[in-house]
Structure 1
Amino acid sequence: MKTQIIQLEEHDDTLSVRDKMDWSQTPRMLLVWPEKGKVLRARLDLILLERYCSSHGSQLALLTSDKEVIFQAGEAGIPVFQSRSEAQLQAWGKSFREFRRQELEKYAAENLPGVPLEREVPLPRKKYPLWARIPIFSLGVLSVLALAAFLLPSAEINLRLQGRQHSLSIPIQAQPGRNQITLSGFVPVRELMIMVEGQLSTPTTGSTLIPAEYAAGEVVFTNLGEEGFYIPEGTILSTTGDKPVLFRTITGGSTPSEQGGEITLKVEAYLPGVSGNIPANQINKINLEVGAELTVTNPAPTEGGTDIQIPAPTLVDRLKLARDMDQLLEDMAWEKINQELGFEDILLTDRLDDFKVISEEYAPEENGPGEFLWLDKEVQYLVHYISSDDLHKLAHDLVLAQYQDNSYIPDLNSIQLQPTPSSEKSGKQNFHREIQVSWIDVQTVSREEIIDWISAKSAGEAARILQKKLDLGEDPQIILQPRWWPRIPSLPFRIQINQGES
């Protein structure tokens, strides 16, 4: 016979064991005591478990080596085994209380024939004649069918509402310094700073002379005293006048020690170029402490100083390069402005007149030679615009103000802005612009209203009602389940409404 084995834990009590018994559906239950721990050693606990097991139509037996439990089980008439195989192979005897109950029933039947036993006796069922049972059965079947017809049918209604197109012309006045947006059309003027830099070059068209060779010649020193003087190499000499020309001795020597003694030394111009070519008797100044005791002059002109001609930028080159650079930076600025501004932002600045030069450097500098003229320039431009976020907020508020009832609602996501081609400037900083706002609205109708219109109607009649009451872009789609069912269900929860826009 099939046996349910229930392993007990050290913490189990009668309630937890009964919970484990509830899962059993076998005719026999074997409780296995844990090797350690002392549980369910009271006779009352064992009797309660045996009674609970009997109420479920099962026999109870124990598997334990606990002597106290074995003793109490024996007193309660509950079989005890020492191994699982023994419990499964041997027959389980009836408990002591079962034998006792049978003895009491037998004693009562023999000695107390006039006292009926208090047992539950099932009441006899009332039997109806066939002619009555058939109508009752038929009525039950019809009730079930009526309930099924009321609950089982379902309907799915797919509606494509037709949106209405609207447009509105809004005059806009943008004011710098304003932060609030009003329904009268006032919006703030936003500022955008753009920083651009560039480098350009152009070939030079002019030329300039630069010094090349040094002029050279001879000078004569005359001693005005009676003592000789040494004139070192590198002694600086010059002409007189507002723009003296400098020379230096390239040899050294001493004057004779007598008044009027002379010495001739070679000199060279201090700077290269034709400026060193001077006439005779022009060098007459000595840069020495003993200059008062000596005189100097050049008996012959100095010669050999030359200049060479090389390319150099002209003023026209600079002006042209500056003009090309300004155009380049403006083009770069417009490109950057278009990248920074959104598609629906309105640019109010039409000319880049508001700018600041951050740096400007020519190479070579003015009057300097060079085959190319280079220009590095960085400029900051300031432009004004109307933000699309401000325009959409204004359009959002104005569109909502057009609707006073709830029969139609605007689709705010459908709002589109179309500005006029140009703006007008009034005063010094105010800008006037006009934008065209377009949007779509749709009819609003609740699910409850639709169900109230079509409940219990045929599919054709429901479609005609929906076409009459709603602005539909296409015929309504009505799907009935089962498909042969002729009408829309009466129960609202059996009707599914799907609304969309066309």
Structure 2
Amino acid sequence: MVTANVLYLSQHDTLDAIRSYMRTLPVGTQLWLVAPILSRTFDSLVNLKLLKRAADAAALDLRLVSLRGPVRLLSREADIPTYLFLPLGLVSTTKRTLRGSMTERQYQVSERRARFYADKPLVRGFSAATLTLAATVLVIAIVGMAAAVFVPSATINLRPVTARVAGYFPVQADTRFQEPDLERLVIPARSLELVVDGHGDIATTGRSDIPDGVAEGSVVFTNKTGDEVAIPVGTIVRTAGEVPARFRTTETVSVAGGEGNTVRAAVVSVDPGPSGNVDAQTIKEVEGVLGTQVIVDNDAPTGGGSLRSVATVGFDDFNRLRTQLSNQLRQQAFDSINANLAESEYVPPSTVEVQILSQTGDQVVDQQAERLGMTMKLRVRAMAVDVESLRLIAKAFLEHQAGGTGEVILDSVDVQLSGEVRTVGTALEFGAQASGELGPRIDVEAVRQEIQRKTPDEAAQLLSEEYQLAAPTEIILEPDWWPFLPIIDQRLKIFVLAPKP
């Protein structure tokens, strides 16, 4: 079984005396040092490490008891287990004080008390058990007092009888103002500007017919000379007229010598499309020097030239893509602007100005293309206004309009800005339609002073007698079993709200 040794120290005990005492204890002893509040021996990390080293050298299990937080922190850093109070199981353990260089404080007590406190040296006139119990009671009392002050919190919602009031007034948003001017009806504003760019594309909707297949047929060459005439592949023949249809031979042929001899050759149209489909007896001309040696004719029509329908870029495609990309970039700019607005800021749509700085399409009108792409850059300018300032302005206006006979409840104020904006110097002027609930003036601080320390029922009764309320007072107490309202102002919140619909 481990032997526990509890040593009560005085403020006069020295480090050397404590270390000397350690060397007298049996190996494996659990030594509890109870440090007095006024002792400065344990204020040094060096001293604590020396104690730890001496305890390790003597093979002791060293523990330290101190009411002082800094001492306990240093002890932990020195690797000495530390405690706020002596464990209850050691209260009856034999306790000692150092002798010799240390002061042993003993006091005379009655014989009966001496028997009760046998082997329990007294410290400053009280036993260790009494001091431990007193300290415990003191801590509990302090915790209880702190709980009574800081733990409870309450929210009081007052809903007085009100009347709905409304009015129209001009309000200016000015970037030079940091706070609302209730008399001049000016609210703070912030100019915003953002340049964004992007690319978009769409499928084209235009259609055009283009030449596709070539026309095919044959022609007959007739010799005009007495010599043999060779007609090479690729010889060009054509119809007459301002826009002739041209054909080329697809094979090499020769016409025998002698005027009137003939030879047939296959031809295809040079250009694809139906323009190569010609009637019989219409191909009459041979291009080049061969035209002086032979004559040409087609005894049958040519055929096979065709058209193919393809997608092309139309004006509507340009307009549609321009609108689509502009809206896309505009929304991108708005999202970026809104992400950087303060919680109380709002951008009236009427202040938004969008300017297209550049746009470039990758196709032209009537060009054959399946898709049309466009790159665009635009600039968005807008003005952010402070909504809370606007509501304060509206509240002040409605109260002034009512002749100062009451107070408009702020959370009931609704403000709508008109779409028309007028520039006035460095400010923008809007028309504003405001409405709100007008009720009696309630001094929240006075209410707080009246109901502190009262029970919820007492507070509700008092408030119902002093004010004309549209609904019973709402009291939310945390924890709900706490009997009284908080005594700390910050823990007692009071709100004057509009009646529920």
TM bucket normalised to smaller? 0.3 to 0.5
Greater gyration radius: 1
